[in-house]
Amino acid sequence: MKVSILGAGNWGTTLAIMLSNKIPVTLWTIEKIEGRENKKYLPSYKIPPNVNITTDLKETIAGSKLLVFALPSQAMREVTQEVSPESHTILLSVAKGIETPTLERMSEILELETGVSPDKICVLSGPNIAREVVRGIPASCVCASANEDSAKVVQKLFSSPAFRVYTSTDVLGVELGGALKNVIALAAGICDGLGLGVNTKGALLTRGIREITRLGAQMGADPLTFAGLSGIGDLITTSFSKDSRNRQVGEQIGQGKTLREILNGMVEVAEGVSTTQAAVKLSEKHKVPMPITREVYAILFNGKPPRDGIRDLMTRDPKPEKL
């Protein structure tokens, strides 16, 4: 079974290393990797010999039974337009974002641009910090597909003693949870940058998952999905991990840096920045209030002082807690 991974960022490289313990893997990259070490995105970890590293996209796709798309969400469409998979190929997105300005999820882009049936499209999400997974620290995730058999193929391939994979048929919920949690993680980082406490962050995460669930349910997702690995599980991890890019961006915002300064100094992509723009548009489209998301947007893109954002959240009209 030929498995190919498109994208050699830290997550794509990690998955290649992890899968190579079972089968040969082809890893496609637009940048040459020398010495079998991805020094730009995942330094200090050697890529095993049975990972074929290539810059040839056609070579990567040919004969693949599983194509893993480990690309930044805003680059997904451009690459998939060049992909013509064979009829038996399963497509798996491991990206956590929403395209702006179309507001399309990654599975939707894969379907539209490749013509592949939804039954052959899967998404993988969960609390997976790449630098922990590559070290073999136990982690779990969820694979969702409209076709449970496709999800089970991914589950069997990726499962190991250090990586437990669950399945789901709620593609919408799994994708929304994985993407929107990054917005709340930015807010969590802002709290860290301001030196606030765990009371603040605990309340933030609780109300954050509530507004994500509210939007997801309105869009047709199963509300219980957001209580799982791709929802609250991923949110907790991303909001507390020192390796979380979104939390790091928020922390620097809280410390007084501008968004432009921060992004100019980054090698990897913080998906939550563009997802914040998409989330605000989705909340307007579906008429769902998302106060935390709106404050994050105002801080990132309108220059609102972070402490003013917190004050405005804390002084909104009193209301009962609704779960």
Structure tokens at 78: 């451009």
How far from 127 is each of 109, 133, 154, 155, CA to CA, in Å?
23, 10, 17, 16
Distance CA 13, CA 5 (A): 8
Strands of 25-28's sheet, edge to edge? 51-54, 25-28, 3-6, 66-69, 90-93, 121-125, 139-145, 163-168
Say which of 40, 181, 201, 281 is annotated catalytic. 181
Residue 181 annotated as catalytic: yes
Dihedral, CA of residue 267, residue 271, residue 277 and residue 280, to nearest 10: -160
H-assigned helices in 94-233: 106-114, 130-133, 148-158, 171-193, 198-219
Catalytic residue IDs: 181
